[in-house]
Structure 1
Amino acid sequence: MTFAKPFTLLSLCIAASTLPVTANATKLYGAKPTESVWQMTVDSPIECRVEHMIPNFGNATFTSRASKKINLDFELQMRRPMGKTENVALLSMPAVWMPGDRAEYIDRIRFYKQFDGYVDGQTAWSMLAELENGRFPTFSFREWQSKGKRVDVSLSPVAFQTSYNEFSSCVDRLLPYSFEDIAFTTLHYDDNGDELNKSSMAKLAQIAEFVRYSPDIDLVLLATYTDGRGAKAANQKLSEKRARTLEGYFMSLGLPKDRIGIEAFGERRPIAENDSPIGRNKNRRVVISLGRSII
């Protein structure tokens, strides 16, 4: 889909710039070729982030996070957030070195008063695709301080490809689960031992991997339980042993001891009857709860 004359590219450059220019824009923000910088600022199994500075306006950020589903968020961080909620046209603008190409419509979104601009999902992926094609994703909206005038904010594709390749590789390495998937987890033990069963060991490994790369996880709570067979004192002792073993495990990941809380309940607080193998298996458990600071 293409726009008619109001959004066609003018065949001119401003101050020797190769930025796209729209006919009704009174202000154009975007990096000149010599200013265009894309940088990977986070590259880990739980988060990938690439950033682009827009001179005199703010910062553009694409972020993808560990999850069961592929995801992408874009944030237009403004030095001066919107003073009024506005509808925003998101366009794909050709550069001046693309004679004959026209502006293309990507989406119409909404920027909210006193918030940075935000785009997610398919629209955010479309912006990356346009950048890879050498085009300028451009936000066009009314300037809230000047009635009837417009502002265009462009992301430059110059020097984009290398960082985009790094970003794509990072996304491929993201863990296939999120914090919410492991924040409250119940694991189970083999009969009368302090070893988790095979499936629980695999789940614990997932939790450990997430904790290892997450500096914002500042609390791990461990609550251990046994089934009701055997002497009460022996069950309590076994529960305490399980708790200490897990405490040492999380300390080996670099988590300070004062950020690990343990409580051994023994055979107290059963969640099933103890007169069947299935019920006892449910009761032989540890509940792991993760706390996360906001940074």
Structure 2
Amino acid sequence: MNRWFSLLICSLALPVQALTFQTRMEDVQWSVDGDQFACRLAQTVSGYGEAVFVRRAGERPVFELNAWSNLLRPGRVHVYNQPPQWRPDARSQALGHAQVADNQPVVRVPQQQAGQMLAGLAQGMQPTILGDSWANATQPLQVVVSNVGYAAAWTEFQDCITGLLPMNFEQASNTTISFAAGGTALSGDAREVLDTVLVYLLADEDISGIQLDGHSDNVGNRLDNRELSRQRVLIVRDYLTERGVNEDLFNLRFHGERYPVASNQSAVGRAANRRVSLKLEK
């Protein structure tokens, strides 16, 4: 594959006859749908499946290729932006590689490359997935995303993005609230973190539990440190319940100095250990 891919990228047109899946210009349709948790910008690729840019709350967009019947052979595929036929002056832009999966999506392109694909669409290019075909090991297969009608679709996609929450479930469920030495009060930074989490908590009706675990550094005696961790958990719970979170969702645990995440031999390590961790359940 590397030989003919290198030839392809260095040329203005395909030097080999690739098995190509691309929607005819007059039939291209973009669709945008989503909610406060994720937005999708999708195009059906005739004969193959659906090409989708997905932006989840708190993340940059990724690209996913779903197939009605996967014709790409397992292994590495090439990702690039290809100029349309009416732009003979432009050259293909190699964006890197992705892997073919056994399930859906068959190809998932990470954030950096997906951003380059979107930038290519804005410049009139056509994002393309190029790999080996099940049908013919000597003939490459390419799936082409058309740029026709992209500008209007992008505007609608941006409108959806403005309504996304500031974070998603995984991000909210890995929240750490830090405390000063010997302290139980919430700092301005801690309140800012909790306010961001609060937006998510109030929006997601599927949350069935909120686990709060309190911790301390090892300064002082163990009983005092356990009490410190208890007070820290309570102040976090109270902050959230006072702003509308159901108190019945909370499960509270206080560990004192038992479970450090860093060495207590340094000020930086002790600061990392003075914390309340928040985990979510669905």
Q: TM-score, normalised by structure 2?
A: 0.66
Partner of residue 63, structure 1: 54
Q: Residues 256, 110 of structure 1: CA spacing in aligned structure 2 closer, same or farther, 3 A cutoff?
A: same
1:147 and 1:225 mapped to 2: Cα distance? 58
Q: Deviation at 1:159?
A: 2.2
Contact in 2 for aligned 1:60/1:75 (Cα 8 Å): yes
Q: Residues 291, 47 of structure 1: CA spacing in aligned structure 2 closer, same or farther, 3 A cutoff?
A: same
- Give runs of aligned pairs for residues 123-142 of structure 1, distance below 5 A: 123-142=113-132
Q: Work out whether 1:150 is the aligned partner of 2:137.
A: no
Number of aligned residues: 253
Q: Deviation at 1:155?
A: 0.6
Partner of residue 3, structure 1: 10
One-letter code of the match for 1:59? E
Contact in 2 for aligned 1:87/1:111 (Cα 8 Å): yes
Q: Residues 94, 247 of structure 1: CA spacing in aligned structure 2 closer, same or farther, 3 A cutoff?
A: closer
Q: Deviation at 1:220?
A: 0.9
Say which structure is richer in helix: 2
Contact in 1 for aligned 2:74/2:102 (Cα 8 Å): yes
Q: Residues 51, 196 of structure 1: CA spacing in aligned structure 2 closer, same or farther, 3 A cutoff?
A: same
One-letter code of the match for 2:92? E
Structure possessing the higher radius of gyration over alpha carbons:
1
Q: 1:165 aligns with which of 141, 155, 162?
A: 155
Q: 1:3-62 CA distances to partner (integer Å, 9 max, x unpaired)?
A: 337617xxxxxxxxxxxxxx502x322222343222222253x64432222233122121
- Give runs of aligned pairs for residues 111-260 of structure 1, distance below 5 A: 111-114=99-102, 116-168=106-158, 179-180=170-171, 183-186=174-177, 188=179, 196-214=186-204, 217-223=207-213, 242=235, 245-246=238-239, 248-249=241-242, 252-253=244-245, 257=248, 259-260=249-250
Partner of residue 269, structure 1: 256
Gaps of 5+ in 2: 1-7, 261-270
One-letter code of the match for 2:43? H
Q: Deviation at 1:204?
A: 1.4
Q: Deviation at 1:143?
A: 1.1
1:40 and 1:212 mapped to 2: Cα distance? 25
1:246 and 1:52 mapped to 2: Cα distance? 44
Partner of residue 31, structure 2: 39
One-letter code of the match for 1:105? Q
Contact in 2 for aligned 1:140/1:152 (Cα 8 Å): yes
Gaps of 5+ in 1: 9-22, 273-281
1:161 and 1:42 mapped to 2: Cα distance? 18
2:207 and 2:30 mapped to 1: Cα distance? 29
**What secondary structure sits across from 1:7 in the alignment?**
coil
Q: Residues 156, 217 of structure 1: CA spacing in aligned structure 2 closer, same or farther, 3 A cutoff?
A: farther
1:49 and 1:256 mapped to 2: Cα distance? 34
Q: Deviation at 1:209?
A: 1.6
Q: Residues 84, 221 of structure 1: CA spacing in aligned structure 2 closer, same or farther, 3 A cutoff?
A: closer
Q: Deviation at 1:164?
A: 0.9
2:239 and 2:118 mapped to 1: Cα distance? 43
Contact in 2 for aligned 1:222/1:262 (Cα 8 Å): yes
One-letter code of the match for 2:24? K
Q: 1:48-101 CA distances to partner (integer Å, 9 max, x unpaired)?
A: 43222223312212123455xx73321112223444314435341314xx2534
Contact in 1 for aligned 2:9/2:94 (Cα 8 Å): no
1:147 and 1:39 mapped to 2: Cα distance? 34
**What secondary structure sits across from 2:60 in the alignment?**
coil
- State the percentage of identical aligned residues: 19
Q: Residues 170, 41 of structure 1: CA spacing in aligned structure 2 closer, same or farther, 3 A cutoff?
A: closer
Contact in 2 for aligned 1:135/1:157 (Cα 8 Å): yes
Partner of residue 12, structure 1: none
Contact in 2 for aligned 1:94/1:101 (Cα 8 Å): no
Q: Deviation at 1:108?
A: 4.2
Q: Work out whether 1:100 is the aligned partner of 2:53.
A: no
